[in-house]
Structure 1
Amino acid sequence: MEKQTIGDRAFGIVNFLLLCLILVIVIYPLIFVLSASISNPELLLKGEIRLLPKEITFEGYAKVFKNNDVMRGYLNTFVYTGVGTVINLMMTTAGAYALSRKNLYGRNVITALLIFTMFFSGGMIPTYLVIKDLHMLNTIWAMVIPGAISVYNLIIMRTFFQTSIPNEIEEAAHIDGCSNLQTLFRIVLPLSTPIIAVMVLFYAVSHWNSFFDGLIYLTDRKKFPLQLILREILIQEDVADMDATMAESVVQQAMSVEGMKYALVVVANIPVLIMYPFVQKYFVKGVMIGSLKG
């Protein structure tokens, strides 16, 4: 091993301290939200919760799971995320594979046009009018079709196909009589598990956290995604379904809302937190593919 200089050691120490600081900055809000979700709401309002929970209670979680809007929104979000991610994968894979073929006529022009849309778009009002004219307002398709393809993800996947799948394998498949579709399904996709996992993570998290499309295109409350319900509770403090028949004082109502807010934040993020560790290594690889190769 090479002997480290004083400068190398100082650089390593500074990096270590910076990483520790970033870790604290990232992990403190997570621990605080979790602690707040199981602490006495009265102590939350008084500002007595700093890190660890006090007077543990699960009343907030009980109210979350008793709230019909929350449970319906949870189910809607699972549907939007599942259907949307499947559509995203199908269209992104088809587009990326086609653009990765050197014999595709005009692929550079097509790629340039796609990249153009990353910088310029029609805007919110024209997009809304298109969705309206297609009769997709207040339907699931308004949540999954407009964002069916992310150009950034398309370029990442195209780059993976170009750099990680040897041309010789595909040429051998064509010699054996495989069509382009057969080559895609029998050769390319089985070798593309890392990038598929990256795309699933990117698209699923995007759908799970999406609320703006629902805010614009949905009017039926029964079709609202979870994030839209969460927005109402966090910002508008809409708690019509909670203890509506009980004559509570303003302070008691505020305590009820405060406890549910943090519990709902935890519940809303559990699926993503569970999924991420399983695809984390693929996530890093996908980011590196997109950042190092054009």
Structure 2
Amino acid sequence: MVKESFGDKLLDFLIHALLVLVLIAVLYPLLFVLVASISDPAKVLGGEVWLWPEGLTLRGYEKVFQNNDILQGYANTLLYTVVGTAINLIMTILAAYPLSRKDFVGRGFFTALFVFTMFFSGGLIPTYLLVKSLGMVNTMWALIIPNAIAIWNVIIMRTFFQQSIPLEIQESAQIDGCSNVQILLRMVLPLSLPIIAVMTLFYSVAHWNSFFSALIYLTDRSKYPLQLVLREILIQSNLKDMVETSEESLAKSVMEGESIKYAVVIIANLPVLLLYPFLQRYFVKGLVIGAVKG
């Protein structure tokens, strides 16, 4: 074993110290929101809550689950995420696989055409007019169809097909009489589960956190996703349906409002927080999967 010099040990110490600071900076806000959501709102507003709950209470969660808008928004977000991610995966695979085939005529032209859309787009107003002309305004499809495919994800998946799926496998399948569709379904996709998992995570997280498209295209409150309901609570302070201001004092209403905000943040991010520790290796793989090999 090579003995480390003092400079190497000092560098290791500084790197680890920096990583610990970054870890604290990332985790503490999450911990504070969780602790504040189950603490007495008066103590939270008074700055008495730091690491441990003070005046344990679940009043905020009770108010949240009594609100129909939040429950409906949660159901809508689950629907939009599942349907949108399924469409995203199908469209991305159907675009990436042909571009990875060396025998696909014009693949360089189509790749350049796809990449062009990453730098130039029609803009918000033309997109809205197009969505309106297609009759998708105030429907779930206005949130899904315009974002049915992400070109960067297509490039990542195409690179995976090129580098990780041996060409010999496809050639042997062709010799056995398989069509391109059969090669994709029977050979390529079973060997591409890691990249499919990466794309599923990327697309599902994007759908789960999306609110701007809903803000633009939806007018019916019953179709609002959870993030848009959360935006109203956090930014517009729309608490009239959750805080009984007619029966409670203004001070208590404000405190309950703060408790509700923290509870909604936890509920909105709970699925991602629960999934990420088990699937983080796919996120890491997704970051390097399109890298150029030396």
Equivalent residue letter for 2:212: F
Q: Using a 3 Å threshold, how does the CA distance of structure 1 residues 3 and 245 change in structure 2: closer, same or farther?
A: closer
Equivalent residue letter for 1:69: D
Indicate if the aligned counterparts of 1:201 and 1:276 stay in contact, CA closer than 8 A: no
Aligned counterpart, 1:196: 196
Q: Using a 3 Å threshold, how does the CA distance of structure 1 residues 292 and 279 change in structure 2: closer, same or farther?
A: farther
Indicate if the aligned counterparts of 2:244 and 2:253 stay in contact, CA closer than 8 A: no
| Comparing 244-253 and 174-183, the one that deviates more | 244-253
| Comparing 249-258 and 226-235, the one that deviates more | 249-258
| Comparing 273-282 and 260-269, the one that deviates more | 273-282
| Alpha-carbon offset, residue 256 of structure 1 | 1.2
Q: Distance in 2 between matches of 1:139 and 1:292?
A: 41
Count of residue pairs the alignment pairs up:
293
Q: Distance in 1 between matches of 2:273 and 2:238?
A: 26
| Alpha-carbon offset, residue 63 of structure 1 | 0.8
Aligned counterpart, 2:20: 20
| Alpha-carbon offset, residue 280 of structure 1 | 1.5
Q: Distance in 1 between matches of 2:32 and 2:96?
A: 42
Secondary structure at 1:236's aligned position in 2? coil
Q: Distance in 1 between matches of 2:181 and 2:44?
A: 58
| Alpha-carbon offset, residue 240 of structure 1 | 2.1
Aligned counterpart, 1:84: 84
Map 1:43-122; keep pairs closer than 5 Å.
43-122=43-122
| Alpha-carbon offset, residue 6 of structure 1 | 2.1
Secondary structure at 2:103's aligned position in 1? coil
Indicate if the aligned counterparts of 1:143 and 1:213 stay in contact, CA closer than 8 A: yes
TM-score by length of 2: 0.97
| Alpha-carbon offset, residue 168 of structure 1 | 0.6
Map 1:154-193; keep pairs closer than 5 Å.
154-193=154-193
Q: Distance in 2 between matches of 1:232 and 1:245?
A: 18
Indicate if the aligned counterparts of 1:60 and 1:259 stay in contact, CA closer than 8 A: yes
Secondary structure at 2:289's aligned position in 1? helix
Indicate if the aligned counterparts of 1:67 and 1:242 stay in contact, CA closer than 8 A: yes
Gaps of 5+ in 2: none
| Alpha-carbon offset, residue 50 of structure 1 | 1.9
Q: Distance in 2 between matches of 1:7 and 1:45?
A: 47
| Alpha-carbon offset, residue 190 of structure 1 | 0.3
TM-score by length of 1: 0.97
Aligned counterpart, 1:144: 144
Q: Distance in 2 between matches of 1:225 and 1:153?
A: 24
Aligned counterpart, 1:32: 32
| Alpha-carbon offset, residue 271 of structure 1 | 0.7
Secondary structure at 1:29's aligned position in 2? helix
Aligned counterpart, 1:229: 229
Aligned counterpart, 2:269: 269
| Alpha-carbon offset, residue 5 of structure 1 | 2.0
Q: Distance in 2 between matches of 1:192 and 1:257?
A: 47
Equivalent residue letter for 1:230: L
Q: Distance in 1 between matches of 2:292 and 2:254?
A: 50
Equivalent residue letter for 2:177: G
| Comparing 282-291 and 224-233, the one that deviates more | 282-291
Q: Distance in 2 between matches of 1:198 and 1:263?
A: 29
Aligned counterpart, 1:216: 216
Aligned counterpart, 2:42: 42
Deviations 1:214-235 (A, max 9, x none): 0000000000000000000000
Secondary structure at 1:146's aligned position in 2? helix
Indicate if the aligned counterparts of 2:232 and 2:238 stay in contact, CA closer than 8 A: yes
| Comparing 114-123 and 219-228, the one that deviates more | 114-123
Gaps of 5+ in 1: none
Q: Distance in 2 between matches of 1:14 and 1:83?
A: 46
Q: Distance in 2 between matches of 1:243 and 1:237?
A: 11
